[in-house]
């Protein structure tokens, strides 16, 4: 394998590209590439058999890196700490990162255990839901148009590697959901049976809605069941990522109980 190449100019085309990807949350869609910062995300990607196109290290990052990270790809680059800071979206820039070609967008799997996101706005919420979905054994997340970009830097960060454990499809319309062959469940604050008394089907598709407006009525109408989360404190609603965690865990627990 060749020696890593030293880059010293902030005008280098690679660094320009990384800057764009770290600063513009939607740039990944045009570029077809994602900039993965830090050991944790890069490791999660390698663990799923993926390979970066370029690996970027600071000197310290290079000396701290595990061998698997150093030899992850042929094209390896060394930059100064300040150049790394310039392409970082983190408060404390990482010592390494991977540039990765996004695979071709997969088609939704009609039979998979699924989470549907209906126009969720907050990147932290979306990332947290991806993380819960992966942890609870769901296979795919389908994001309707208007949802925060699944591969945007903030969602990637909040997802903590969950992206690589899931089939992710975004930019979908309601019609794209019609082929789903698994029962669709929506949460409601005021209708349906209580989650903790429900027998939950598996696989299923949980639908999570916009932070303010919830699930749009046309989508609610497509669902086979409405389920509500008990809220004895009488507050008006839970954060959507908290509600998702509760629902996805209930599905995982229902699967586990018969064992």
Which positions touch a second copy (CB under 8 A)?
Answer: 124, 127-128, 131-138, 158, 160-162, 165, 194-197, 229-239, 241-246, 249, 252-253, 255-257
Could you tell me the smallest distance in angstroms from the CB atom of residue 230 to a second copy? 5
- Give the nearer residue to a second copy in terms of CB position, either 205 or 222: 205
Q: Which is nearer to a second copy, 1 or 256 (CB)?
A: 256
Nearer to a second copy, 49 or 232 (CB): 232
Q: How far from 181 is each of 85, 88, 172, 218, 246, CA to CA, in Å?
A: 46, 41, 16, 18, 23
CA atoms within 13 A on the CB side of 169: 18
Nearest-angstrom CA–CA distance, 177 and 174: 5
Q: What's the CA gap between 258 and 247, in Å, rounded?
A: 18
Min dist CB 40 to a second copy, Å, is: 9
* 157 CB-side CA count, 13 A: 17
Compute φ and ψ for 48, nearest 5 degrees.
-95, 15
* Separation CA 220–CA 94 (nearest Å): 42
Residue with smaller CB distance to a second copy, 169 or 241: 241
Of 185 and 195, the one with the shorter C-beta distance to a second copy is 195
- Hey, is 164 helix, strand or coil? helix
> Which residue's CB is nearer to a second copy, number 87 or number 244?
244
Q: Nearest approach, Cβ of 189 to a second copy (angstroms)?
A: 10
What is d(CA 59, CA 57) in angstroms, rounded to the nearest whole number? 6
Say which residue the tokens 């599905």 belong to.
Answer: 251
Instruction: Report, in Å, the least distance between residue 212 CB and a second copy.
Output: 10
Token duo for residue 238: 């839970």
Min dist CB 180 to a second copy, Å, is 20
Return the sign of the alpha-carbon dihedral for residues 18, 45, 173, 136.
negative
The nearest distance, CB 245 to a second copy, in angstroms, is 4
Mark residue 165 as left, alpha or beta (left: phi above 0; alpha: psi -120 to 50; beta: remaining): alpha
Report in angstroms how near the CB of residue 49 gets to a second copy at its nearest.
15
Closer to a second copy by Cβ: residue 184 or 229: 229
């Amino acid at each position: 394998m060749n020696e890593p190449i030293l880059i010293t100019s902030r005008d280098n085309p690679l660094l320009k590209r990384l800057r764009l990807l770290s600063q513009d949350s939607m740039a990944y869609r045009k570029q077809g590439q994602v900039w993965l910062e830090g050991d944790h995300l890069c490791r999660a990607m390698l663990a799923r058999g993926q390979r970066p196109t370029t690996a970027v290290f600071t000197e310290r990052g290079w000396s701290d890196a595990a061998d698997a990270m150093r030899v992850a790809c042929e094209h390896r680059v060394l930059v100064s700490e300040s150049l790394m800071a310039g392409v970082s979206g983190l408060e404390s820039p990482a010592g390494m990162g991977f540039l990765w070609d996004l695979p071709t967008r997969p088609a939704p799997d009609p039979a998979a255990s699924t989470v549907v996101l209906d126009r969720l706005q907050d990147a932290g919420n979306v990332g947290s839901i991806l993380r819960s979905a992966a942890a609870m054994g769901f296979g795919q997340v389908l994001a309707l148009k208007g949802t925060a970009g699944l591969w945007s830097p903030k969602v990637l960060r909040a997802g903590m590697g969950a992206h690589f454990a899931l089939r992710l499809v975004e930019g979908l319309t309601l019609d794209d959901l019609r082929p789903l062959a698994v029962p669709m469940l929506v949460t409601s604050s005021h209708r349906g049976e209580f989650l903790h008394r429900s027998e939950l089907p598996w696989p299923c598709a949980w639908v999570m809605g916009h932070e303010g407006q919830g699930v749009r009525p046309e989508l609610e109408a497509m669902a086979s069941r409405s389920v509500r989360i008990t809220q004895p404190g009488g507050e008006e609603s839970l954060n959507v990522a908290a509600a998702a965690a509760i629902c996805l865990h209930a599905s995982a627990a229902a699967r586990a109980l018969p064992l």
